[in-house]
Structure 1
Amino acid sequence: MADELDGLTEFLTVARERSFTRAAAKLGIAQPTLSQTIRALEDRLGVRLLIRTTRSVSPTEAGERLLQTAGPRLDDIRAELEAMRELRDKPAGTFRISAIDFTVDYIIWPKLAPFLERYPDIKVEITIDYAMTDIAAAGYDAGVRLGGVVAKDMIAVPLTGDSRFAVVGSPAYFARYPAPVVPQDLTGHRCINLRLPTYGNTYAWEFEKDGQELRVRVDGQLVFNGIFQVLNAALDGFGLAFIPETMATPHLETGRLRRALDDWCPYWEGYHLYYPTRRQSSPAFALLVEALRYRAPTV
């Protein structure tokens, strides 16, 4: 039976990563060894599992079936084995989290650092990811998103209170351009865009006032795929930015940024850590969740 399962982990990793190079690095083995292992699995099963080209790797119909059926079951087995290991005196385990860089730096890390000091046998791998990644299919234990976009079949734990974004620009920018009064005015401004990989398009700035909701496509000289670069460009006077208020606040307080359209920027449900129900069986993961959980300040 063990021989039948040989190569299954390697296949699932390649199928999820869509790359032998990335899969080999993730597994910590040489790429030729990985290729031989997959080929041996295909030979035993008598079917081809992967389509290999010079530029990409993708599952065949049989490979996709194996990925969708065996993948979640193997993840469940791994979770249970980790739970068994955690019955030792010290909580232990390795957990993978998908999040954007802003939530890592401003929300997760301040709580995660002391947690890791307390539990040295717990390991955490964080991947910066702006895509709406299917965390279960990609092998993550958890992800971080605004509460309103978390899938209904996931458990969601609040990491922050209600949050909002801010339209900001430098004093030098506002010295050259009048501040927008309504969101529609943004079409006449130089704005710094954020491109989201899931949709392949730039993020439409979202506003709401008195029950009126608006989504505005803005334009400008710069487009980034990371929010910190958007902030830096705004600080340097290259245009208006739409960034989390938490990021903007220190610079608003020092005068390096000024705010616009404040009355059009609503509060949204805050950031949440979300994960599939199978993760509940892990004591170490439960400790991690509790360490990151948002607790409203007491008056």
Structure 2
Amino acid sequence: MQLLEQFNNREVVMISRSDFLALKTFIMVAEKLNFRAVADKLGISASAVSQQIQGLEERLGLRLLNRTTRSVCLTEEGRVLYLQTAPLLENLADAFMQAHSRSSIVKGNIRIHAFRSAAEMFLDCKVAGFLASFPDVHIDLTINDCPADLMAGRFDLSLRLGEVLDPGLVAVPIGERLHQIVVAAPSYLEARGNIKQPEDLSQHNCIGWRWPGKVTPEPWQFSFNGQLKNISVTGNLVVDDRERQYRAAIAGIGVAQVTAERVSVHLDSGALHRVLEAWESQFDGYYLCWIVGKAISPAMRAFIDWLRNG
């Protein structure tokens, strides 16, 4: 109550629109120390920038900048004003953007393509919360492990592995790097023996995985002393679905190379046993992507922020 009375008794000084614009210009000049660069960014002349700063100095009764024909530098008063006001304007801009993203104008359709594993890790647990916060947004979600052509498929966003990024995409990392491990069911290892080094895989039934639409299974990748090694494996089962791969391993069919994040529950329960731990490798995880130069709608921006920060 005392704070409220103090606030009500204070004299409120309103800043005019011209002073606010001049203050923004001053902050830009203080950061760049170059009138021409600021003028180019604002799309006005250097003399107009100079006039804004001069007018602000006159209204404040302070010299904020020392100017010569060759350089611009802050005065002590200018330095203090910059340190006091720059964070305020930045916070104001952030607050405005956050309010904008929560407003009712966030509406429209978002077409999203996602790898199955990415959908399990990032979308299944978040889409409900996003749609509850933005009920006017409609999401059309396509799930498969075939890297989609965003232009041809008319997708707004794609959630995919870093190893299949295209040059024409903006790519924002989501989550951590992935940890690749080799697993097998305890019953399989009891029957066939343990696996001590990658070369031993030639004596085991390896459950292969291939990209959807491809014929040849992917080689398995290992790392030892910082060196990467690819090994071609063989077996009597090849799949194009990572879930089918690790479930086949749980069933005791053979050995599988999967991401630790995907099978952590089955490792904890003992359904799968980890082998070749000294040769495990890491690789780039998932990225949220869109076409370079694509206009970002408020709905897309809200979804991108939600997925990155939610």
TM-score class normalised by the smaller sequence: 0.5 to 0.7
Say whether residues 1:211 and 2:226 are aligned partners: yes
Say whether residues 1:189 and 2:204 are aligned partners: yes
User: Match for residue 27 of structure 1?
Assistant: none
User: Match for residue 228 of structure 1?
Assistant: 243
Q: Deviations over 1:176-204 (max 9, x none)?
A: 12222222221211111112135432121
Q: Deviations over 1:44-81 (max 9, x none)?
A: xxxxxxxxxxxxxxxxxxxxxxxxxxxxxxxxxxxxxx
CA contact (8 A) 1:160 1:294 kept: no
User: Match for residue 284 of structure 2?
Assistant: 269
Mapping for residues 74-223 of structure 1, pairs under 5 Å:
89-223=104-238
SS at match of 2:182: strand
CA contact (8 A) 2:209 2:239 kept: yes
CA contact (8 A) 1:227 1:243 kept: yes
User: Match for residue 269 of structure 2?
Assistant: 254
For residue 105 of structure 1, what is the amino acid of its counterpart? E
Identity of aligned residues (%): 30
Aligned-residue CA RMSD (Å): 2.2
User: Match for residue 20 of structure 1?
Assistant: none
TM-score (norm 1): 0.65
Larger Rg: 2
SS at match of 1:287: helix
CA contact (8 A) 1:157 1:273 kept: yes
User: Match for residue 5 of structure 1?
Assistant: none
2-side partners of 1:154 and 1:212: how far apart? 29
1-side partners of 2:118 and 2:205: how far apart? 26
**Runs of 4+ residues over 6 Å off in structure 1:** none
Which runs of 5 or more residues in structure 1 are unaligned?
Answer: 1-85
CA distance 1:248–1:116, change in 2 (3 Å): same
SS at match of 2:132: helix
CA contact (8 A) 1:168 1:248 kept: no
Which runs of 5 or more residues in structure 2 are unaligned?
Answer: 1-100
Which piece of structure 1 moves more, 193-202 or 257-266?
193-202
For residue 121 of structure 2, what is the amino acid of its counterpart? Y
CA contact (8 A) 1:161 1:294 kept: no
Q: Deviations over 1:244-268 (max 9, x none)?
A: 2111111111111100112212222
Which piece of structure 1 moves more, 236-245 or 191-200?
191-200
2-side partners of 1:233 and 1:148: how far apart? 25
For residue 287 of structure 1, what is the amino acid of its counterpart? A
User: Match for residue 82 of structure 2?
Assistant: none
1-side partners of 2:142 and 2:218: how far apart? 21
2-side partners of 1:158 and 1:194: how far apart? 24
CA contact (8 A) 1:162 1:270 kept: yes
SS at match of 2:206: coil
CA distance 1:281–1:127, change in 2 (3 Å): closer
SS at match of 2:222: strand
SS at match of 1:110: coil
1-side partners of 2:166 and 2:256: how far apart? 28
